Amino acid sequence: MNKKIAVIFDMDGVICHTNPYHSLAFQEFFLKRSLTPTEEEFATHMYGKSNSYILSHFLKRPIQGQELLELEEEKESMFRMIYKPHIEPITGILTFISDLKNNGAQIGVATSAPYANLELILSKVAIRENLGSIMASEDVRNHKPDPEVYLTSASNLGIAPEQCVVFEDSFSGVTAALNAGMKVVGVLTSHTKEELPPCNLYIENYLALSYQDIIPLLEN
C-alpha cells in the first residue's frame, strides 16, 4: 500500500515561471511613481513575498488596509494582463502531478498570490481536479515565511506536516515550509541553491521526477 503523503506546490515559479512577468508589472507600477527598482532588488524583496511586504518596502512606508487592497489590485491587474498570453506550466509538472495522483498522494497549492491570479493560471493549467486544497493570500493572516499557509494546507488534506513535501522557489517560501516541519524541494527557477535555505532536493523542472522520488525524502 502506498504511504499517505501530501505534496504541496507554491504557484509563482513552481507551477508556472511567472516571476519575470511580475517584475514587468511591478516595473510599470513603480515607474508610474517615479521609482526604478533593479532586478536584484526584486529578487531579494519581491519573489515569494506578500504584496503588503513588497509595497511597504519599495514605497518606504506601511501599506495596509484599504490602500493595500487598492494598490494590490492595480499591480495584480497589470500582471494578469501582461501574463495572460504567456501562461505555460513548467516542463513536466502535469505528468508529475498525474503520477502523484495515480499513486494516492494528496495534492495542494499554497500561494502568496491573490485568488484572481491563481484562477487565471488554473484556467489554463489543467490541474484543478487533482487538488484537494487550494490556498491563496486571502486565506491566511500571516504570510510566508510564517508556516500558516502550509500547516493549514496539511490540515485541509488530512495529512500530518511531517508527511508533506513542499515545492518552493523562494527564500521565504522554503523557510515557511521548513517552519511547518515539512520536507522541501527547491525549484531553481528564481534562485540558485546558494540563495535558498537548505532543501531536501533541488530541481530545475519536473522531467524525470516521479512519486517514487518523493517517498525517500519522507524516510530520511
Query: Would you kindly state where each structural domain of the chain is located, as residue ranges?
Result: 6-18+89-219, 19-85
Range 156-176 average pLDDT: 96
Residue 80: per-residue pLDDT: 97
Distance CA 167, CA 187 (A): 7
Residue 1: per-residue pLDDT: 40
Which candidate, 166, 205, 186, places its Cα nearest to that of 16? 205
> Do the domains 19-85 and 6-18+89-219 match in fold?
no
Q: Are 173 and 179 in contact (CB under 8 A)?
A: no
| pTM (2 d.p.) | 0.91
Task: Let me know if domain 19-85 sits in CATH 3.40.50.880.
Answer: no
Angle of helix 171-179 relative to helix 148-157, nearest 10 degrees, comes to 60
Taking only the tens place, the pLDDT of each residue in 19-34 is 899 989 999 999 999 9
pLDDT beyond 60 at 168: yes
Taking only the tens place, the pLDDT of each residue in 183-209 is 999 999 988 999 999 999 999 999 999
Q: Are 150 and 110 in contact (CB under 8 A)?
A: yes
Residue 167 grid cell: 515545492
Q: What percent of the chain has pLDDT over 70?
A: 99
Higher pLDDT residue, 186 or 220?
186
Taking only the tens place, the pLDDT of each residue in 82-138 is 999 999 999 999 999 999 999 999 999 999 889 999 999 999 999 999 999 999 989
DSSP 89: B
Q: What is the CATH number of domain 6-18+89-219?
A: 3.40.50.1000
pLDDT beyond 60 at 175: yes
Model confidence at 50, pLDDT cuts 50, 70, 90, reads confident
Which candidate, 193, 31, 14, 27, places its Cα nearest to that of 108? 14
Contacts of 39 (CB under 8 A, 6+ apart): 23
Residue 177: per-residue pLDDT: 98
Cross-strand bridge partners of residue 186:
168, 202
Distance CA 147, CA 153 (A): 10
Range 40-65 average pLDDT: 87
Taking only the tens place, the pLDDT of each residue in 89-103 is 999 999 999 999 999
Distance CA 24, CA 79 (A): 8
Q: What percent of the chain has pLDDT over 90?
A: 84
Distance CA 168, CA 110 (A): 10
Taking only the tens place, the pLDDT of each residue in 142-151 is 989 999 999 9
Distance CA 187, CA 33 (A): 33
